[in-house]
Amino acid sequence: MSKRGLPDNFKLRHDTHYVELLTSRGAGAPIGRMIPIDKLAPNPSQPRIEIGDLSELVLSIKEKGVLEPLLVRPSDVGGRFMIISGERRYRASIEAGLVELPCIEMDVDDRAVAEISLIENLQRKDLTAFEEADGLLALARRFGYKHEEIAQKLGKARTSVTETISIANIPAEIRDLCRRADIASKSMLLQVARQPTDEDMKEFVLKIGAAGLTRDQAREMRQGKPDRVRNYSYQYEDPDKEWSLSIRFCRPEVAPKNLRKALEDAMAAIPDD
């Protein structure tokens, strides 16, 4: 691979390629070309806060180059460009030692830049359920999109968009309780979001955390069905029948390492005298 960001046998500016197709669309069409990496700069209003681990992307770029062009627009500073989409590729390319990158230059306003950045952020695979919910809600509120329109832009089902946006309505205090109770999956958070009031959400989360409920059990609890959750218990009896031990957990399943830790904690709590 060359330092240009593309494999040696891959041409962006020559032969028949999608760049020629783009540039043949007339004035105002996006323009594809190679741009020196020192002429590129991240979007200061990029909605993504954490870039995440770039190690795998760096290795991929070193081996195969940057196969997906960055989206950029001319900056206010002459000769420079602001990255609309592709900041992770840009940062990984710097680590990989590239000197220029394949880019698509676009003539778009600030609103379009914000929309493209937000949509790209929502297409990440490592988003938490709360990050995805907040991003979808931002698309609806900032740009006035209906759920059906958001679904079309992201290639999702409308019902999935509607369900996910409902998670964004969980207050910050309840979100913190969810994190403490290790409630992170979309399916479990939907059960929380469907509670009628904030107080009901709080009580529901505390019950889930204490009992270690599965998604189906949480749904049954929300629907008012009888509680069928069984607490995990461990029993041990001395071979000589002189004593026995019983320990009960407030959840249905416990890993051996957690059982050992509970026994160690109990032993440590026994007074020396």
pLDDT of residue 11: 43
Q: Per the structure block, which two tokens stand in for 70?
A: 């960055």
Same domain, residue pair 58 and 82: yes
Name the token pair of 146: 């209906």
For 32, the enclosing helix (H) or strand (E) is: strand 31-36
The residue-averaged pLDDT of 201-215 equals 72
In a domain? residue 66: yes
Both 87 and 22 in one domain: the answer is yes
Domain that holds residue 81: 18-118
d(CA 10, CA 255): 52
Q: Are strands 100-105 and 31-36 parallel, antiparallel or unpaired?
A: antiparallel
Whole-model pTM over 0.75: no
- Would you say residue 179 lies in a domain? yes
Check residue 108 and give its pLDDT: 86
User: How long a stretch of residues is the chain?
Assistant: 273
Looking at the structure of the chain, the number of domains it has is 4
Same domain, 99 and 79: yes
In angstroms and rounded to an integer, the radius of gyration of the C-alpha atoms of the chain is: 27
Per-residue confidence (pLDDT) for residue 17, from 0 to 100: 37
Helix, strand, coil in percent for the chain, rounding step 5 = 45, 10, 40
Looking at the structure, do residues 163 and 208 belong to the same domain, yes or no?
Answer: no
Would 198 be classed as within a structural domain?
yes
Q: Above 60 in pLDDT, residue 119?
A: yes
Q: DSSP letters along 187-199, please? A: HHHHHHHTSSSHH
Specify if 6 maps to a domain. Answer: no
> What is the CATH classification number for the domain harbouring 114?
3.90.1530.10
- 125 vs 129, which has greater pLDDT? 129
Q: What is the pLDDT of residues 158-186, one digit of tens each?
A: 999 999 999 999 999 999 989 888 888 89
Residue 192 lies in a domain: yes
| pLDDT tens figures, 253-266 | 778 888 888 888 88
Is 204 among the domain residues? yes
pLDDT for 8 equals 52
106, part of any domain? yes
Q: What is the rounded distance in angstroms from the CA atom of residue 131 to the CA atom of residue 125?
A: 11
Q: Which two tokens stand for residue 176?
A: 């913190």
Cβ-count burial 68-90 (b if 16+ within 10 Å, e if not)? ebbbbbeeeeeeebbbbbbbbbb
- Please list the alpha-helical segments (H only) found in the chain: 18-23, 55-64, 87-96, 110-122, 129-143, 147-154, 158-167, 172-180, 186-193, 198-211, 215-222, 256-268
Highest-confidence segment of 94-108, 231-245, 252-266: 94-108
Asked if pLDDT for residue 97 goes beyond 60, the answer is yes
CA angle 175, 114, 34 (to 5 degrees): 125
State the pLDDT at residue 25: 44
How many other β-carbons are positioned within 10 Å of the β-carbon of residue 127?
15
pLDDT at 15: 33
- Vertex 41: Cα angle to 37 and 84 (nearest 5): 105
**Confidence at residue 231, expressed as pLDDT on a 0 to 100 scale:** 65
CB-based burial label for 62 (10 Å; 0-12, 13-18, 19+): middle
Query: What integer pLDDT is reported at residue 20 of this predicted model?
Result: 42
Does 1 reside within a domain?
Answer: no
Same domain, 136 and 78: no
Alpha carbons 66 and 62: distance in angstroms, whole number: 9
- For residues 213-239, give the mean pLDDT: 60
The angle subtended at Cα 138 by Cα 137 and Cα 139, nearest 5°, is: 90
Instruction: Please state, in angstroms and rounded to a whole number, the distance separating the CA atoms of residues 38 and 242.
Output: 77
Q: Does one domain contain both 188 and 201?
A: yes
| Backbone phi, psi, residue 140, to 5° | -70, -40
User: For the segment 134-156, what is each residue's pLDDT rounded down to a tens digit?
Assistant: 999 988 998 889 999 999 988 88
Position with higher pLDDT, 19 vs 124: 124
Domain identity same for 22 and 114: yes
Q: What are phi and psi of 82, to 5 degrees?
A: -95, 135
Tens digits of residue pLDDT in 55-86? 999 999 999 999 889 999 988 777 899 999 88
In this predicted structure, what is the pLDDT of residue 214?
A: 52
Helix (H, G, I), strand (E, B) or coil at 96: helix
C-alpha to C-alpha distances, 244 to 31, 235, 247, 260, nearest whole angstrom: 78, 7, 10, 16
pLDDT band of 27, cuts 50, 70, 90: very low
pLDDT of residue 226: 47
At 46, the pLDDT band (50, 70, 90 cuts) reads low
109 with 182, same domain? no
**Whether residues 22 and 113 fall in one domain:** yes
Q: What's the pLDDT tens digit per position in 189-206?
A: 999 999 999 999 998 888
Q: What is the pLDDT of residue 37?
A: 95
